[in-house]
Chains A and B, each alone.
Chain A
Amino acid sequence: SQELEQSPQSLIVQEGKNLTINCTSSKTLYGLYWYKQKYGEGLIFLMMLQKGGEEKSHEKITAKLDEKKQQSSLHITASQPSHAGIYLCGADPDRGAQKLVFGQGTRLTINP
């Protein structure tokens, strides 16, 4: 079965600094999703990547899917307190599986 490993598990950065979160899959990724979760709350959809080499940006967040489609990175530029939360990557484990499998999450803390 497919597994997603996120690194780091937690991250504390100074406000204004850049940061990167990685998501590595044990199998080829057919669709990779990034979500953000405030502690104990719902998941907010950030971005979806499907093609190898694809890169998408939304405000100060950029996500990439590598050419071999087994790793994705999420990069935040000039971090702000509003970026704090848990970032989860999710993937379709097999075409037609009708579910997403998720990484364990990366807890991001932004210090003022």
Chain B
Amino acid sequence: EAQVTQNPRYLITVTGKKLTVTCSQNMNHEYMSWYRQDPGLGLRQIYYSMNVEVTDKGDVPEGYKVSRKEKRNFPLILESPSPNQTSLYFCASALGLAGTDTQYFGPGTRLTVL
């Protein structure tokens, strides 16, 4: 089944404790992206990647890191999480260009930083 998977789905952590949210897609998509969703602010892009070893900042990259060592995986890293990073996170992938090809979203990761 073609899908985007994220792990963990739910995470409660404390300020400053490094964490990684994994994202994997099995559709051989070149484009992958991370969004966060917050009440009143909607979905905002954090980082995206056009291909292996090619990443770029989105609208809200501060406090996040990403890597794209393999085509199928695009982990989101929070080196020192803070409470303002409490949010619902989505990973997405698309065959090629973000605006031309349909983006498929993962199930989401609900992160709480205490």
Question: Residues of A with Cβ closer than 8 Å to B?
Answer: 30-31, 33, 35, 40-45, 48, 88, 90, 92, 95-100, 102-105
Name the one of A42, A92, A96, A104 contacting B105, with C-beta atoms under 8 angstroms.
A42
- Determine if A45 and B102 form an interchain contact, defined as CB atoms under 8 angstroms apart: yes
- Determine if A98 and B103 form an interchain contact, defined as CB atoms under 8 angstroms apart: no
How many residue pairs, one in A and one in B, have C-beta atoms under 8 Å apart? 61
- Determine if A100 and B42 form an interchain contact, defined as CB atoms under 8 angstroms apart: no
Residues on A with beta carbons closer than 8 Å to the beta carbon of B31? 98
- Determine if A88 and B99 form an interchain contact, defined as CB atoms under 8 angstroms apart: no
Q: Which of B75-114 contact A (CB under 8 A)?
A: 88, 90, 92, 97-100, 102-108, 110
Residues on B with beta carbons closer than 8 Å to the beta carbon of A31? 99-100
> Which of under 10, 10 to 19, 20 to 34, or 35 or more describes the interface residues of B?
20 to 34
- Determine if A98 and B48 form an interchain contact, defined as CB atoms under 8 angstroms apart: yes
- Determine if B108 and A41 form an interchain contact, defined as CB atoms under 8 angstroms apart: yes
> From B47, which residue of chain A is reached at the shortest CB distance?
A99
Q: Which of B52-78 contact A (CB under 8 A)?
A: 56, 58-59
- Determine if A103 and B42 form an interchain contact, defined as CB atoms under 8 angstroms apart: yes
Question: Residues of B with Cβ closer than 8 Å to A?
Answer: 31, 33, 40, 42-43, 45, 48, 50, 56, 58-59, 88, 90, 92, 97-100, 102-108, 110
Please give the distance in Å from B32's CB to the nearest CB on chain A.
11
Please give the distance in Å from B6's CB to the nearest CB on chain A.
8
Name the one of A42, A88, A97, A104 contacting B107, with C-beta atoms under 8 angstroms.
A42
Given contacts A31-B99, A88-B43, contact A98 B105 (CB under 8 A): no
> From B99, which residue of chain A is reached at the shortest CB distance?
A92
Residues on A with beta carbons closer than 8 Å to the beta carbon of B110? 40
Name the one of B40, B56, B99, B108 contacting A100, with C-beta atoms under 8 angstroms.
B99
Name the one of A40, A90, A98 contacting B50, with C-beta atoms under 8 angstroms.
A98
